[in-house]
Structure 1
């Protein structure tokens, strides 16, 4: 079972503020990479970012790192290199063998973070999209590059 600790609104807001998305329509998507975004595991992850997320095409990013990618408008942003999440009360779900923590953001979007993998992957889904976990399967191959050695999601015994 993964541990439980509430994330403060400040920590969620700080994480959400780490990504600054480009304004309207055209232009490269700007995002702040994590310190480990250019690590060897994240370089491998970058090779396996999906070409599309459902009907959403990939976007050019204004970041000099393959560890950051984006799709759609407004952009769904993925970043590799995030420190792994600790215990949380947020839902932890298994999507095709990859565990993800789903954190609702103050702006109505959802932050999905791989659980049990270091470095972690983060996928930010704006409120404009249905943030159902079914957006996550295209990230499976990329996420599986990083071994799940820090534990797994599990339900509390009933």
Structure 2
């Protein structure tokens, strides 16, 4: 191949690479204090590629995940385990989650009885929190269990994903 044609091919390839990488974006997040633990690494490699119709996005922080464009689900591992609370606790997929409805329709869902703790922030106008927790629980089960909710709510199989 002559040098001129090679240079033109290389320039075309670089423009194509920039164009394709311009389609993806990185979600800027902050790592939790204990994100570097081996347990969070085990969770991170098991996070799903998609949640419902939402594809996973790149994040710039360790032990995190984000889904949707715009982002509708954000996940973080490595938090301080929460103290006992009077907030609702649900058990999905063998994992107990504290439900904080303070920012409804966005829910903050934090594992209870796992160390370190993990947390998901879910926009329920876009995706069902039960669906998100069902998928995340598969990964979060890797975190060592240290306790459980005293009387967690269990998902009702007859209700579906109406949250």
Q: Do they superpose with TM above 0.5?
A: yes
* Bigger helix fraction: 2
Question: For structure 2, which runs of at least 5 residues remain unmatched after alignment?
Answer: 1-22, 154-163
TM-score (norm 1): 0.74
Question: For structure 1, which runs of at least 5 residues remain unmatched after alignment?
Answer: 1-24
For 1:86 and 1:115, how far apart are their aligned partners in 2? 8
Structure with the greater relative contact order (CA < 8 A, sep ≥ 6): 1 or 2?
Answer: 1
Deviation at 1:121, TM superposition (A): 0.9
* Bigger strand fraction: 2
Tell me what 2:52 maps to: 54
Partner of 1:136: helix, strand, or coil?
helix
TM-score (norm 2): 0.71
Partner of 1:79: helix, strand, or coil?
strand
Q: Number of residues paired by the alignment?
A: 130
Tell me what 2:30 maps to: 32
Moved over 4 A (4+): none
The verdict on how the C-alpha distance between 1:128 and 1:30 changes in structure 2, with shifts beyond 3 A counting, is farther
RMSD, matched Cα:
2.1
Tell me what 2:95 maps to: 98
Deviation at 1:90, TM superposition (A): 1.3
